[in-house]
Amino acid sequence: MTEIIQKVKNLSIGFKSKKGEEILILRNISTNIKKGETVGIVGESGSGKSTLALAMMGYVKHGLYTIGGECEFNSSNLLKMKNRDLEKIRGRKIAMIPQNAGQALTPNLKIGYQIDEALQLHSDLKEEEREQKISELLNKVRLPSPETIALRYPHELSGGQQQRVAVAMALAGTPDLLLLDEPTTGLDVTTQAHVLELLNFIAKDTGTSMVYVSHDLGAIAQVSDRIIVMYSGEIVLEGPSRDILKKPIHPYTYGLLKSIPKLSLAGLPQSMPGSQPQPGTMHRGCSFFDRCNFSEEKCKNNSPQLEYLEELKTSVRCFNYKSLMNDSQVNQTVNKIKMSFQDKEILNLSEVSISYAKQKLLDQVLNRISDDNPTVKDININIKKGETIALVGESGSGKSTILKSIAGLLRTKGGIIKFDQDRSLSSDLKERDPNDLRIIQLIFQNPDESLNPNHTVEEIIAQPLKLYFGLKGEELKKNIIDLLQKVRLGEFYMSRYPRQLSGGEKQRVAVARAFAAKPDIILCDEVTSALDVSVQAAVLNLLQQLKEDFGTTYIFVSHDLAVVRAISDRVAVLYQGRLCEVGPSKDVYQFPSHPYTEVLLGAVLEPDPDIKPKLVAEDIVEEKPPQKGCSFQGRCSRILGDICKNEVPPWQITNSGNSIRCHIPLKELQKDQIN
Amino acid sequence: MKLDNIYQEEKKSNFAKVSEIIITMASRPSGFIGLSILIFHVILAFISPYIAPYDFKAINPTLMLQAPSAEYWFGTDDLGRDVFTRTILGGRTALTITFFGSLIALLWGGLLGIFCGLVGGKTDDIVMRIVDAFLSIPWILAMLLIVSLLGTSTEVLIPALGFFYGKGIVRVARAATHDVIAKDFIVSARARGHSNFSIIWNEIIPNVRDAILVEGAMRWSWMLLGFSSLSFLGFGVSPPTPDWGLMISNARGLMSFAYWSVIAPIVGLSSLIIGINLTADAFAKALGIDRSTKAPV
Ligand SMILES: Nc1ncnc2c1ncn2[C@@H]1O[C@H](COP(=O)(O)OP(=O)(O)O)[C@@H](O)[C@H]1O
Ligand code: SF4
Ligand code: SF4
Ligand SMILES: [Mg+2]
Instruction: State the burial class of residue B122 (Cβ atoms within 10 Å of its Cβ: 0-12, 13-18, 19+).
Output: exposed
Helix (H) or strand (E) holding B216: helix B205-232
Per-domain residue ranges of chain B: 21-287
Instruction: Judge whether B246 and B262 are in contact, CB under 8 Å.
Output: no
Q: Widest CA span of chain A, in angstroms?
A: 78
Is the pLDDT at A100 greater than 80, yes or no?
no
Q: Which residues contact A463 (CB under 8 A, 6 or more apart)?
A: A513, A516, B189, B192, B194, B202
- Is the pLDDT at B8 greater than 50? The verdict is no
How would residue A330 be classed by pLDDT, with cut points 50, 70 and 90? Answer: low
Per DSSP bridges, beta strands A307-309 and A94-97 are: unpaired
Q: Do B190 and A429 touch (CB under 8 A)?
A: yes
For the question of an ipTM over 0.90, the answer is: no
Instruction: Compute the distance between CA of residue B103 and CA of residue B166 in angstroms, rounded to an integer.
Output: 9
- Arithmetic mean of pLDDT, B207-224: 89
State the pLDDT at residue A522: 96
Taking residues A224-233, what's their average pLDDT?
A: 94
- A295 Cβ closer than 6 Å to some ligand 2 atom: yes
- Average pLDDT of span B131-150: 81
- B14 vs A589 pLDDT, higher one: A589
CA B68 to CA B71: how far, in whole Å?
Answer: 8
Between A331 and B164, the more confident residue is B164
- Sequence-separated (6 or more) residues with CB below 8 Å from residue B90: B242, B243, B244, B246, B247, B265, B268
pLDDT number for residue B4: 42
* Helices of type H across A517-556: 533-550
Res B293 pLDDT > 50? no
Task: Report whether pLDDT(A128) > 50.
Answer: yes
Q: Which residues are CB-contacts of A148 (< 8 A; sequence separation ≥ 6)?
A: none
pLDDT value of residue A87: 84
**Looking at CA atoms only, how far is residue B11 from chain A in angstroms?**
6
> What is the pLDDT confidence band of residue B289, given thresholds at 50, 70 and 90?
confident
What b/e readout covers A457-481, taking b as 16+ CB neighbours within 10 angstroms?
bbbbbbbbbbbbeebeeeebbebbb
Find out whether the beta carbon of A320 lies less than 6 Å from any atom of ligand 1. no
What residues form DSSP beta bridges with A177? A94, A209
User: Is the pLDDT assigned to residue B11 strictly greater than 60?
Assistant: no
Residue A521 has φ and ψ, to the nearest 5°, of -130, 135
E strand or H helix at A194 = helix A189-206
Least confident range of B18-27, B41-50, B67-76: B67-76
- Distance in angstroms (rounded) separating the CA atoms of residues A540 and A566: 9
Ordered DSSP codes for A461-472: HHHHHHHHH---
Residue A159 has pLDDT above 80, yes or no: no
- Pairwise pLDDT comparison (A267 vs A212), residue with the higher score: A212
**B143-to-B165, B225, B246 alpha-carbon distances in Å:** 11, 14, 17
Q: Which of A360, A357, A362 is nearest to A373 (CA)?
A: A357
**% pLDDT > 70, chain A:** 97
Which is it for the CA torsion B62, B65, B70, B72, positive or negative?
Answer: positive
Domains and CATH numbers, chain A: 251-273+283-335 (no CATH), 345-568 (3.40.50.300), 583-675 (no CATH)
φ, ψ for residue A532 (rounded to 5)? -70, 150
The pLDDT assigned to A674 comes to: 58
What are the Cα distances from residue A342, in Å, to A345, A569, A656, B219, B243? 8, 12, 19, 63, 81
Query: Percent helix, strand and coil across chain A, each rounded to 5?
Result: 35, 20, 40
Please state whether beta strands A209-214 and A38-42 pair in parallel, antiparallel, or not at all (unpaired): parallel
Cβ contacts (< 8 Å) between A15 and chain B: which residues?
Answer: 1, 3
Q: For residue B55, give every residue at least 6 positions away whose Cβ sits within 8 Å of its Cβ, in sequence order, or none.
A: B85
- Rounded-to-integer distance, Cα A117 and Cα A111, Å: 10
Q: What is the pLDDT of residue A136?
A: 87
pLDDT confidence of residue A329: 64
**Domain range B21-287, CATH class:** mainly alpha
What's A493's DSSP letter?
Answer: G
Give mean pLDDT, residues A545-563. Answer: 92
Using an 8 Å Cβ cutoff, are B162 and B101 in contact?
yes
Minimum mean pLDDT among A22-36, A593-607, B277-291: which range? B277-291
Q: Which amino acid is present at A105?
A: L
Q: Which residues of A219-233 are buried (b: 16+ CB within 10 A; e: fewer)?
A: bbbbbbbbbbbbbbb
Under an 8 Å CB criterion, which residues of A touch B? 15, 17-19, 23, 63, 278-280, 407-409, 429, 432, 434, 437-438, 440-442, 444-446, 449-456, 463-464, 467-468, 495-497, 499-500, 513, 517
Beta strands in A209-329 (DSSP E): 209-214, 226-231, 234-240, 268-269, 307-309, 314-316
CB contact under 8 A, B6 and A495: no
For residue A117, what are the CA distances in angstroms to A94, A124, A127, A131, A421? 17, 12, 11, 11, 62
Which of A232-246, A322-336, A394-408, A593-607 is least confident?
A322-336
CA distances to A576, A633, A647 from A641, in Å:
20, 9, 10
pLDDT higher than threshold 50 for residue A544: yes
A568-572, A591-595, B116-120 — most confident range? A568-572
Q: What is the DSSP-derived secondary structure letter of residue A412?
A: -
Question: What is the model's pLDDT at position A328?
Answer: 56
pLDDT by residue (tens digit) across A51-88? Answer: 899 899 888 887 888 999 999 998 889 988 888 888 88
Region for A577 from its dihedrals, namely left if φ exceeds 0, alpha if ψ lies in -120 to 50, beta otherwise: left
Mean pLDDT in residue range B38-56: 83
Instruction: State residue A155's pLDDT score.
Output: 81
Q: What is the pLDDT of residues A508-518, one digit of tens each?
A: 999 999 999 99
Query: Which pLDDT belongs to residue A342?
Result: 76
pLDDT per residue over A345-364, tens digit each?
A: 999 999 999 988 777 777 77
**Minimum CA–CA partner of A18 in chain B:** B4
Rounded Cα distance between A571 and A22, Å, is: 50
DSSP state of A537: H
* pLDDT, mean of residues A314-330: 83
Kindly report the backbone phi and psi dihedral angles of residue A286, in degrees, each rounded to the nearest multiple of 5, phi listed first.
-75, 135
Distance CA A314, CA A573 (A): 42
Contact A499, A453 (CB under 8 A): yes
Secondary structure letter of residue B202 according to DSSP: I
Neighbours of A658 (CB within 10 A): 25
Q: Whose CA is closest to atom 1 on ligand 2?
A: A318
Using CA coordinates, name the residue in chain B closest to A279.
Answer: B3
The pLDDT, as a whole number, for residue B75 is 74
Averaged pLDDT for residues A164-177: 89
CB A580 less than 6 A from any atom of ligand 3: no
Which chain A residue is nearest to residue B204, measuring alpha carbons?
A: A452
Measured CA to CA, the distance from residue A560 to residue A601 in angstroms comes to: 10
CB A46 within 8 Å of CB A90: no
Closest residue by Cα to residue A85 from A73, A96, A97: A73
CA distances from A336 to A331, A487, A567, B22 (A): 15, 21, 9, 56
Cα A568 to Cα A337, A363, A391, A555: the distances in Å are: 9, 40, 10, 9
Q: Nearest 5°: phi and psi at A630? A: -80, 140
The residue among A623, A626, A420, A663 whose CA lies nearest residue A519 is: A420
Structure confidence at residue A451 as a pLDDT band (50, 70, 90) = very high
Atom of ligand 2 nearest to the CA of A294: 7
- Predicted local confidence at residue B225, as pLDDT: 87
pLDDT at B297: 39
Among the bound ligands, the one closest to the CA of A358:
1
- Grade residue B3 by pLDDT with cuts at 50, 70 and 90: very low
- Whether A429 and B193 have beta carbons less than 8 Å apart is answered as yes
Are A279 and B3 a contacting pair at CB < 8 A? yes
The per-residue pLDDT of chain A, averaged, comes to: 88
Ligand 2: distance of its center to the CA of A303 in Å?
9
A134 to A21, A102, A125, A280: CA distances (angstroms): 50, 17, 11, 47
- Residue B5 in this model has a pLDDT that exceeds 50: no
Q: What local confidence, expressed as pLDDT, does residue A570 receive?
A: 93
Mutate which of A581, A639, A661 for ligand 3? The one with the most ligand atoms within 8 Å of its CB, which is A639
pLDDT bracket for residue B173 (50, 70, 90): very high
Decide: A663 in ligand 3 pocket, CB within 6 A: yes
For the stretch A43-52, pLDDT in tens is 988 888 988 9
Four-CA torsion B261, B267, B270, B273, nearest 10 degrees = -120
Q: With a cut of 60, say whether residue A547 has pLDDT above it.
A: yes
What distance in Å separates the CA atoms of residue A224 and residue A620, rounded to the nearest whole number? 26
Give the span between the Cα atoms of B197 and B203, in whole angstroms: 10
Give residue B6's identity as a one-letter amino acid code: I
Nearest-CB residue to B194 (from A450, A467, A497): A467
Q: How buried is B69 (Cβ within 10 angstroms: 0-12 exposed, 13-18 middle, 19+ buried)? A: exposed
pLDDT of residue B290: 61
- Cα–Cα distances (Å) from A337 to A331, A386, A537, A565, A568, in that order, read 18, 12, 13, 11, 9
**A15–B194: do the CB atoms touch at under 8 Å?**
no
pLDDT at A573 exceeding the cut of 90: yes
pLDDT greater than 80 at residue A380: yes
Q: Contact A200/A141 with Cβ under 8 angstroms?
A: no
**Nearest-angstrom CA–CA distance, B54 and A96:** 72
Phi, psi of A652 (to 5 degrees): -115, 140
pLDDT digits (tens, 9 = 90+) for B75-100: 777 777 777 888 888 888 888 889 99
Mean pLDDT across B170-179:
90
Neighbours of A571 (CB within 10 A): 26
Contact A437 B191 (CB under 8 A): yes
Contacts of the segment A664-672: beta carbons below 8 A, 24+ positions apart: A664/A595, A664/A638, A664/A640, A666/A592, A667/A592, A669/A591, A669/A592, A669/A593, A669/A594, A669/A595, A670/A591, A670/A592, A672/A638
State if residue A401 touches ligand 1 by the CB under 6 angstroms criterion.
Answer: yes
The pLDDT value recorded for residue B1 is: 32
**Residues A384-414: tens digit of each pLDDT:** 999 999 999 988 888 999 999 999 998 888 8
Assess contact for B264 and B87: CB atoms under 8 A. yes
